[in-house]
Structure 1
Amino acid sequence: MDDSVFISYCVVAGSFLFFQFLFSAVSSRISLKVCNGYKKLSYAKQCEWDSRIVSNVHALIVGSFCLYILVYDDAVNADPIWGDPFQVKMNVAITSGYLVYDLLLFARFWKLMSDPYMVCHHFAVIYAYGYVLNRGVLPYFANFRLISELSTPFVNQRWFFDAINVPRSSRFFVLNGLAMAVVFFIVRIAVIPSYYSQVFATFGTEGYIRLGIGPQVAWIVSCVILDILNVFWMYKILYGFYRVVKSKPGGKPTRNHAD
């Protein structure tokens, strides 16, 4: 194992411990102080609340780092398959540690927080990012996928409002729903044509051939799975927003799986 791979896995371990610490020792204490509704939640909802606080912290760290790399990392932008991957590997390592923490959280609280779609998402990402950590390949494309994290805080805020019974017809709920739909569309759906045009542009190049069949399959299969999930979630967001807008003032529509 070379030094860069060793450092990457140290960051994965550190990331896992950091996010686990936030969930176990920090989130609940802060939430009790800043939100009166937190103490009224059931144990199951408190667990999910804490997990979403951690999710927001991860999204802000990784999303910000992602934008920095996209703008300033010339080596990665010049060679999206084999460019110097160090900064991207650090960002991917942070995300990988978070994903391991989150999968273990699902396993521990499956009866309370079961989400098979999110588990599929996590395994697809870890499968693909393993090649980035071990071989340093596809740094541009690996980092580009992380731009999707910028929509996470809005998704979580919608859940927070629901958990403390903020009326779905309230101004804050509707504005957050609108922002969530717009940002989710921009960072997860609107970028699909541009992303795949860049993917297709690499086919047949020397850099692409050097990858070998393993990374090629991991790259393409994981991208397809993630984008199917993104389109599915976009549908749920739009349908949920439609139901909020069409509900009677002060009312709260019956929840279903599209919420």
Structure 2
Amino acid sequence: MSSNVTIAVEKIAESTTNNNGFEVDPAIAVYQLTDPLLKFSWYPESESLYLKHLHEIAFSFAFYLFIHIFIAPYLNHLIFGKNYTSIQNRKSKMDFDVHIVSMFQAFISVAIVLPVIRLPVDLNVATFQNEWCSMVSSVSVGYFIWDFIVCVSNYNIYGLEFLAHAIGSLYCIGISLYPFVQNWVPKFLIVEASTPFVNVNWFISQLLRYKVKVPVWLNVINGVLLMTVFFSIRIVWGFTAIGYLSKQIWITRYQVPIVHTFLILLLNTLFNCLNLFWFSKMIRIVKKMAMGSKKETKSSKRD
């Protein structure tokens, strides 16, 4: 996967100069990107993007399932040792594995959206489609199918909240193969850049629960990066993107499907509000930690 992304980036660099030696806008050069996995399509002649890219959805799902069953437990055992293997609670152990899968998904998502992140925002949301964007959507759909199955099969563990999030995410990405708002998939998926910091923060909190010493500097650096990146791309960019998308939908309002338009805007707005809620919780935790450290400082001075 990473080699394909490297080739794609190199193609963009090469295509920024035309045959006459004049530079071409890289934002336009991305149109020349092709799906390197399309040659494996089971339905290469199909006009349906769902069928044309079905192999990528299936391979992606199988990949994340393999990570969940085999790679995640191995990595958790390798990284956390007995702090992972000694866990008796099924939910806690599964959470460790799920966060490893999430980490893989975050890095893969960011890597494959970068080549098309500069697609113009004013493209027709009702008709635009691009081979590379379709691949990005298909790979992401495979992940969210895995996520959905995990939430359904472990409903007693994750509950309605996580299941609803999985369904909403699957719909928002899946509808881009309709195609609808496909050029916005990379611009929304870039929010996954904050996920590694979220996961590291979760791992640290779990280790602290088990009385494992974690370097303070690691916790502080990750915390600062988490809040900075999370606020920048999930809050600032998240709400900005919804504004831009709403404008483009309004411009093509006579072409877009009404129901899908309503659901896309509603779900993404809800996701943004949820991110705002999570960020407010982060701020409360930071304040609580700061107050705790002040109290400790005062008590030490009295002693």
Match of 1:38 in 2: 84
Counterpart CA distance in 2 for 1:241 and 1:229 is: 19
2:253 aligned counterpart, secondary structure: helix
What letter is aligned with 1:158? Answer: N
> Equivalent residues in 2 for 1:104-119 (5 A)?
104-112=149-157, 114-119=158-163
What letter is aligned with 1:126? Answer: L
Match of 1:141 among 178, 184, 207: 184
Is residue 132 of structure 2 the alignment partner of residue 103 of structure 1? no
What letter is aligned with 1:240? Answer: I
Superposition deviation, residue 60 in structure 1: 0.6
The percentage of counterpart residues that share the same residue type is: 19
Match of 1:220 in 2: 265
Q: How does the TM-score come out when normalised to structure 2?
A: 0.72
What letter is aligned with 2:285? Answer: G
Give the conservation status (yes or no) of the 8 Å contact 2:60–2:139: yes
Is residue 91 of structure 2 the alignment partner of residue 48 of structure 1? no
Is residue 57 of structure 2 the alignment partner of residue 9 of structure 1? no
Between 237-246 and 224-233, the greater mean CA deviation after superposition: 237-246
Superposition deviation, residue 213 in structure 1: 0.9
What letter is aligned with 2:190? Answer: I
CA displacement, residues 9-34 of structure 1 (integer Å, 9 cap, x when unaligned) = 32122111110110101111122223
Give the conservation status (yes or no) of the 8 Å contact 1:19–1:101: yes
Match of 1:244 in 2: 289
Match of 1:89 among 134, 138, 142: 134
Backbone CA RMSD of aligned residues: 2.4
Is residue 245 of structure 2 the alignment partner of residue 199 of structure 1? yes
Match of 1:157 in 2: 200
Give the conservation status (yes or no) of the 8 Å contact 2:176–2:185: yes
Superposition deviation, residue 117 in structure 1: 3.1
Match of 1:127 among 140, 155, 171: 171
1:219 aligned counterpart, secondary structure: helix
CA displacement, residues 36-69 of structure 1 (integer Å, 9 cap, x when unaligned) = 2322333432211111000000011012222221
Give the conservation status (yes or no) of the 8 Å contact 1:62–1:91: yes
Larger radius of gyration: 2
Counterpart CA distance in 1 for 2:293 and 2:188 is: 38
Q: Which has the higher contact order (CA 8 A, sep 6+)?
A: 1
- Equivalent pairs counted in the alignment come to 244
Superposition deviation, residue 203 in structure 1: 4.4
2:254 aligned counterpart, secondary structure: helix
Q: How does the TM-score come out when normalised to structure 1?
A: 0.84
Structure 1 runs of 4+ with >6 Å offset: none
1:191 aligned counterpart, secondary structure: helix
Match of 1:257 in 2: none
Superposition deviation, residue 193 in structure 1: 4.3
User: Which blocks of at least 5 consecutive residues in structure 2 are unaligned?
Assistant: 1-45, 297-303
